[in-house]
Amino acid sequence: DLLTESGAEFSLMSGSGSCVFGFVRNKIAGIRIKNRLQKAGYVVWLV
């Protein structure tokens, strides 16, 4: 799965459905994506 926000590519690899491991090219946009996912109830790790 791939989220794109403000030119940042965020690759999602979710094992349990509640944990998200993401690789981001743009750290600032990645933080926004992380905050959005955390509000949705996910545990997020960004690389």
* Token digits of residue 6: 């403000």
* Cβ within 8 Å of residue 45, ≥6 positions away: 19, 20, 21, 22
Q: Is the pTM of this model over 0.85?
A: no
Structure confidence at residue 1 (pLDDT): 47
pLDDT digits 0-9 by tens, 20-36: 666 777 778 778 888 88
What is the average pLDDT score of the chain? 68
CA dihedral 19, 31, 47, 41 (to 10 degrees): 0
Q: Could you give phi then psi for residue 2, rounded to 5 degrees?
A: -140, 125
